[in-house]
Amino acid sequence: MASADTSLLRGAPFDDPAYLPSRIPSAYNPLHTFELPKGAEKHYHQQYADLYFLRLAQLKKAVKQRAEEAWGDFTLGDEKARMVDRVLDVRQGELCWVVGTVYMELGLKPNILDDIAKEHWIAAPPLRETYTSQSGHDGMMLEDESGRLRVFGESLSSTSVTGCVLAALGTEQSDGTFQVIATQYADLPRQPQRWERDDSELAMQKQNPPKRERSGKIAIVSGLDMTGADDDDLSLGLLVEYLTGELGGPPDQSKASRLSRLIIAGNSLSHASPILSRDDFNAKKAGKRHYGYDASSYDPAPTERLDQFLADILPTIPITLLPGETDPANVALPQQQLHPALFSQSRQYANPPAQSNESREGLDSVTNPWEGDIEGYRVLGTGGQTVTDLLKYVEDVNVLDVMEMMLRWRCVAPTAPDTLWCYPFQDDDPMLVKDCPHIYFAGNQKKFAKRVIVGPADQQVLLVSVPKFSETRCVVLVDMETMGVEVVKIALMQPKS
Amino acid sequence: MAENYKEYLAAKVLTDGRPVTYRLLSRALKTNVNVAKSMLYDFYTKQNAKKPKSVHATYILVGRKREAEQTHGANGSHKNGEDSFMHSSPFMSSLPEPEAEPVDEEAAQKTTMVLVREEELEATKAEFEEITSTHIYSLEPGPIENLNVLSVCNQEIATKYSSGDPLERWKHYGSIHNPYIKRRTAKFAPPPAAAASASKAPAKPTAAMSAKEKEKAGLERRGSVSDANTLGRSTPQPTSASNTIKKSDSKPSLKRDKSDIFKSFAKSKPKAKEAEKSKESTPAPAADEPMQAMSEDEGEDDTPVVQVDQEQQEAARRKRQERQDKLRKMMDEPEDEEMPDAPSEEENDSQDAAIDKIPVPKPTQSESALTSQGGRRRGRRKVMKKKTVKDEEGYLVTKEEAVWESFSEDEPEPKKPKPTPKPMSAAKGKNGGKKAQGSIANFFKKA
């Protein structure tokens, strides 16, 4: 037997056990950036074109500035690079640079016209591993309000996707395409200081910032994928026991008390999206047709299991719950909060929605994407659809590269109106990153990874790719003082059959 | 301390043949989980000393796995023990990190918690570099084939032992105590209505205004179309709320049928009067006035003189009266008589009241960034708006522009807003009715 923990492998007499240290407080100040207007204020009749125009208008200044810094005195031969306002103003043979939104023409990208032609429009388009086709039909274009410009070039990074705003330097060739020598993006925006928002709020109330103790860690988990079946019960049970500090011996239990918050980053339920995937749809169509209430079409078990799961954890640790692709929220980004009616037990730990739209202690059901301040640091997180979708545009690029590029493009969901469902924003696009986060996580990825990226003004951002719990049984811990990342893995050593 | 753990375990495990986890034991005996873990161990050793192999155990190992084994484990074959480890380690070391981002992954410290049967315990332990804690997770009568059967214990906890205040659990079971968590006890408490109503209030006045304005416009247009509408026009005051009520109610009925008209008058007048009364009797709130004043854009009423002397008022009234008389003659309808009179009076009164009370600083008010009046904050603020325009060459250009936008928001305010909602709803109903009406009139005309 191991030596460190004989205390629990020991018989009578039993000592009175010491109580574990109490849970450390969670300084939590969520933002409501991604909340859509309520009820009748929500409109879906706008055109998506505005979203692209808006994105370009808001990012143009930053991109232009970056490009000016980089290419202000760029000369090729004796020709000086010149900025051109519109993509259609590019003249043949002239060295110039222009700012525009990228549009990728990819062979396998879902096309609504194709879908209608095939009369497959009722269900979601089939899942594709990638949008790029091998047939060489893929192309890249730069567009603004005036028109589109076909671009190509060795230096074009393979990471460009539809919707990102770039400045491209090059010349137009005789066939009308624009050969690109170099590109520039907006790069990371300003990063708020730690505790900036909390302190300014306190200053408004004429209070001095309190003395803050050393912060603990946050735990991020995603892809619980509850099905209501018994198979995953044991590992979920172990996760509960770990978070409540029941599992393990005193040293490990004390470590668990340093966790100040649990973030669930999407896909808590596995088959609950209101829009069926094509497979589910076909399966359903093949089945028998029922009239009236069909008990087989709605299974409350997964929801109850999730509610139970949350209610087991909530007495000891506050939770921030993001919806994900398969959760019963709206499907268009930004996904809105999971409805409290789903959580008959756990919603007692949340403020009633009529009273307040946030619960700083207890269960906070938030949007996806979501941003907020945890322990003074700005945290931005998504359920992972944005990353997964972006990965379909590019090859040989990993999750962290994609996440890094999103921040550098200053857009959390560049592919949003193109291949991701999205609310048609008109006057403001919350998907644009206005404040650089300190931590950016994406849920439901294949495996765990992390990286620290550095911006032009010394912004440091920790990127975390959070794996699916249902596949990897991993929980990611982030130390909010040191930004250190740990992984806790729960394993079942199933007997060999 | 519960000493009956032996009986409980014996009954459950040996007699019933069911698994018992430390958690279930702690819930059943209301004891600390760490004590429960020791109890399991105690029971396990004593029983097996008496009769070997009578009780089977599963263990929890918490610690850090060896790096090589870790990556290997991630690849799939977990339980092959030392054999596979021997194979894999030279293999792994010879290949310098075939993974795409090994640097990212390795930087993180990895803690593993393994649930393992006693048969595999030693082999699993060998995979660990450091074990920080071990304890018995569960006891069962014999070796189990599938660890998932242990989940019945958690289900039993959920069904049998879920009563009691969850916030007190830590005292009994020794889980981590969180002093900051709050739990609502009232299960289905009605949500307080205050918040909702407060948020709605500011939207109303503007709606009322725009409705009125629209109506005005509609009136003018229609006036030229049909002479029946001249009646509507006859009331030259497009603004006051009571006035609009009248118009809407009376006009449609007029066109339809004469007998109807009487009815509608009978109904509409008291209503209008009431509205008026409420306005007059309650010392018209300062907050309201600017609203009304602002919606008046006819030159007549525009002069924001504080003290309008009687003469002027009289003159104005007379003028109006004359115009109405003329109109009445035109209409040539005796029933009408009441109509224009009644509204005109009421309207005049309310109008005057409004004029009287228009505060002097009203014009400047809109200029200032923020003023607080009668409990309503109003002012202007700079907002960034997206604007898409066509430039001279015909291109679309999207720009972000700073635009001044007026806003008003309610501060906690007493009875004041009462009068405003009324005209609003009245105007609205009227609006709809009138439109439909107008078209019908047109139809008849042509016919």
| ipTM reported for the complex, 2 dp | 0.80
Instruction: For residue B310, give every residue at least 6 positions away whose Cβ sits within 8 Å of its Cβ, in sequence order, or none.
Output: none
pLDDT of residue A218: 92
Residue A398 to residue B46, Cβ atoms within 8 A: no
Q: Residue A378: its pLDDT value, please? A: 92
Task: Please report, for chain B, the start and end positions of each structural domain, with discontinuous segments joined by +.
Answer: 5-173, 199-362+420-446
pLDDT value at residue A372:
92
Strands B20-21 and A75-76: unpaired
Most confident range, picked from A119-128, B104-113, B344-353:
B104-113
The pLDDT assigned to B310 comes to 66
B147 sits in which H/E element = none
Q: Which residues of A touch B169 (CB under 8 A)?
A: 315
Contact in structure between B132 and B63 (CB atoms under 8 Å) = yes
Rounded CA-CA distance B229/B328 in Å is: 12
Cα R_g (chain A), whole angstroms: 25
**Mean pLDDT, residues A32-59 taken together:** 86
Summarised one tens digit per residue, pLDDT across range B178-222 is 888 877 765 544 444 333 333 443 444 444 444 444 444 444 444
> Is the per-residue pLDDT at A441 higher than 90?
yes
Whether B108 sits inside 8 A of A486 (CB atoms) is: yes
Half-sphere exposure of B256 (CA within 13 A, CB side): 15
- The dotted CATH code for B5-173 is 3.90.1030.20
Q: Name the closest residue on chain A to residue B70, using Cα atoms.
A: A489
Cα A393 from Cα B271, distance rounded (Å):
66
Among partner residues B119, B125, B167, which is closest to A315 by beta-carbon distance?
A: B167
How far apart CA A33 and CA B396 sit, in angstroms, is 29
Q: Which residues of A touch B37 (CB under 8 A)?
A: 8
How many other C-beta atoms are found inside a 10 Å radius of the C-beta of residue A39?
6
With a cut of 80, say whether residue A273 has pLDDT above it: no
Name residues whose C-beta falls within 8 Å of residue B357's C-beta, 6 or more positions apart in sequence.
B284, B286, B289
User: Is the CB of A234 less than 8 angstroms away from the CB of B148?
Assistant: yes
Q: Which residue has the higher pLDDT, A169 or A496?
A: A169
B26: closest chain A residue by CA: A246
pLDDT band of residue B369 (cuts 50, 70, 90) is low
Please check whether residue B215 is in contact with residue B430, taking contact to mean a CB–CB distance below 8 angstroms.
yes
- Rounded distance between C-alpha atoms, residue B59 and residue B40, angstroms: 11
Nearest-Cα distance to chain B for A116, in Å, is 30
Out of A363-367, B82-86, B260-264, B387-391, the most confident range is A363-367
Suggest the residue from B6, B25, B175, B183 to mutate for an interface test with chain A (most A CBs closer than 10 A). B175
DSSP string computed for A178-230: EEEEEEE-------PPTTHHHHHHHHHTT-PPPPPPPP-EEEEEB---B-SSS
User: CB distance from A36 to chain B under 8 Å?
Assistant: no
What is the percentage of chain B residues whose pLDDT exceeds 90? Answer: 0
**Chain A residues with CB-CB distance to B117 below 8 A:** 493, 495
Domains of chain A by start residue, with CATH:
6-42+196-489 (3.60.21.50), 49-184 (2.40.50.430)
The yes-or-no verdict on residue B151 having pLDDT over 70 is yes
For the segment A91-116, what is each residue's pLDDT rounded down to a tens digit? 888 888 899 998 888 777 777 666 66
Per-residue pLDDT tens over the stretch A25-37: 888 888 888 988 8
- Smallest CA-to-CA distance from A52 within A164, A135, A211 is with A164
- Asked if A57 lies within 8 A of B386 by C-beta distance, the reply is yes
Q: Kindly report the number of other CB atoms within 10 A of residue A185's CB atom.
A: 22
Distances (CA, A) of B337 to A428, B234, B252, B254: 55, 12, 16, 12
Q: Pick from A8, A53, A250: which is nearest to B41 by CB?
A: A8
CB-closest option in B108, B179, B398 to A22: B179
Dihedral sign, Cα of residue B39, residue B44, residue B45, residue B50: positive
Return the pLDDT at A157. 59
Residues in chain A: 497
| Mean pLDDT score, B428-441 | 49
Mean pLDDT of chain B: 61
| Residue A440 confidence (pLDDT) | 94
pLDDT band at A488 (very low <50, low <70, confident <90, very high): very high
Q: What is the mean pLDDT of chain A?
A: 83
Q: What is the pLDDT of residue A474?
A: 92
The pLDDT, as a whole number, for residue B429 is 42
Pairs of residues, one from chain A and one from chain B, whose beta carbons lie less than 8 Å apart = 275
Average pLDDT over residues B307-324: 73
Report CA-CA distances (Å) from B100 to A63, A445, A447, B84, B95: 30, 15, 12, 24, 13
CA–CA gap between residue B430 and residue B420 (Å, rounded): 16
A20: closest CA of chain B, how far (Å): 6
Stated length of chain B: 447
As given in the structure block, the two tokens for residue B67 are 């790096």
**Beta-carbon-side half-sphere exposure of residue A464 (alpha carbons within 13 Å):** 35
In the structure, what pLDDT confidence band is assigned to residue A222 with cuts at 50, 70 and 90?
A: very high
Higher pLDDT, residue B447 or A486:
A486
Of the candidates A8, A9, A54, the beta carbon closest to that of B398 is on: A54
Q: Which residues contact A147 (CB under 8 A, 6 or more apart)?
A: A86, A87, A88
The nearest CA of chain B is from the CA of A174 a distance in Å of: 24
Please report the pLDDT score of residue A485 as a whole number: 92
Tokens of B53: 């192999």
B12-55 pLDDT per residue, tens: 888 888 889 988 888 888 888 888 888 888 888 888 888 888 88
What is the pLDDT at residue A328? 87
C-alpha span between B179 and B167 (Å, rounded): 9
**Separation between Cα atoms, residue A329 and residue A351, nearest integer Å:** 19
Whether A17 contacts chain B with CB within 8 A: yes
Q: Which residue has the higher pLDDT, B81 or B270?
A: B270
Question: Are A351 and A294 a contacting pair, CB within 8 Å?
Answer: no
Residues in B closer than 8 angstroms to A7, CB to CB, are: 34, 38
Report d(CA B46, CA B25) in Å as an integer: 17
Using a CB-CB distance cutoff of 8 angstroms, which residues of chain A are in contact with residue B34?
7-8, 17, 249-250, 253
Contact at CB, B135 and A318, closer than 8 angstroms: no
* Of B114, B88, B71, B138, residue with least CA distance to A494: B114
Average pLDDT over residues B433-447: 54
Q: Do A493 and B109 touch (CB under 8 A)?
A: no
> What is the maximum alpha-carbon separation in chain A?
91
8 A C-beta contact, residue B348 and residue B359: no
Residue B78: its chain A contacts at CB < 8 A?
A: 491, 493
Asked if A456 reaches chain B (Cβ–Cβ under 8 Å), the answer is: no
Least confident piece of the model among A181-190, B158-167, B270-279: B270-279
Average pLDDT over residues B368-385: 64
Of residues A118, A99, A98, A102, the one with CA closest to residue A110: A118
Closest CA to B420 of B196, B204, B200: B204
Write the single-letter amino acid at A65.
Q
Residue B72 banded pLDDT, cuts 50, 70, 90? very low
CB within 8 Å of B197: residues ≥ 6 apart: none
Q: Say what the pLDDT of residue B262 is.
A: 52
pLDDT at A287: 59
Q: Do A17 and B35 touch (CB under 8 A)?
A: yes
CB contact under 8 A, A20 and B395: no
pLDDT of residue B423: 41
Yes or no, beta carbons of A233 and B148 under 8 Å apart: yes
The pLDDT value recorded for residue B438 is 55
Q: Smallest Cα–Cα separation from B424: which of B237, B201, B252?
A: B201
H and E: helices and strands count for chain A: 11, 20
A246 to B397: CB separation less than 8 angstroms, yes or no: no
Closest by Cα among B295, B8, B432, B390 to A86: B390
Q: Is A297 on the interface with B (CB under 8 A)?
A: no
Scanning every residue of chain A, which has its alpha carbon at the shortest distance from the alpha carbon of B158?
A308
Contacts of A340 (CB under 8 A, 6+ apart): A347, A350, A353, A365
What integer pLDDT is reported at residue B191 of this predicted model? 43
**Is the minimum CB–CB distance between A40 and chain B shorter than 8 Å?**
no
**CA A247 and chain centroid, separation:** 30
Q: Write the residue in A247, A257, A487 that is nearest to B60 by C-beta.
A: A247
Among A10, A317, A487, select the one facing B178 at the smallest CB separation. A317
Q: What is the mean pLDDT of residues B382-393?
A: 74
Smallest CA–CA distance, residue A279 to chain B, in Å, is: 28
- Side-chain half-sphere CA neighbours of B408 within 13 A: 22
Residue A194 touches partner B, C-beta closer than 8 Å: no
Is B170 in contact with A19 (Cβ distance < 8 A)?
yes
Which pLDDT belongs to residue A22?
A: 83
Q: How far is A230 from chain B (nearest CA, A)?
A: 8
pLDDT value, residue A6: 47
Is the Cα torsion angle B334, B335, B336, B339 positive or negative in sign? positive
Contact A53 B154 (CB under 8 A): no
Question: H helices within A39-87, ranges in order?
Answer: 49-71
Residue type, position A24, single letter: I
pLDDT (mean) for B395-419? 61
Mutate to test the interface with B, among A347, A461, A475, A494 (most CBs of B within 10 A): A494
Chain B residues inside the 8 Å CB shell of A1: 134
Task: Using pLDDT thresholds of 50, 70 and 90, give the confidence band for residue B434.
Answer: very low
* A129-138, A269-278, B54-63: least confident range: A129-138
Task: With beta carbons under 8 A apart, name residues in chain B contacting A245.
Answer: 174-176
A482 and chain B in contact, CB less than 8 A: no
Q: How far apart are CA B441 and CA B447, in angstroms?
A: 10
B345, two tokens? 């009076």
d(CA A334, CA A330): 8
Task: Give Cβ neighbours of residue B31 (< 8 Å, ≥ 6 apart).
Answer: B1, B2, B5, B25, B39, B172, B173
Per the CB < 8 A criterion, the answer to whether A253 and B170 are in contact is no
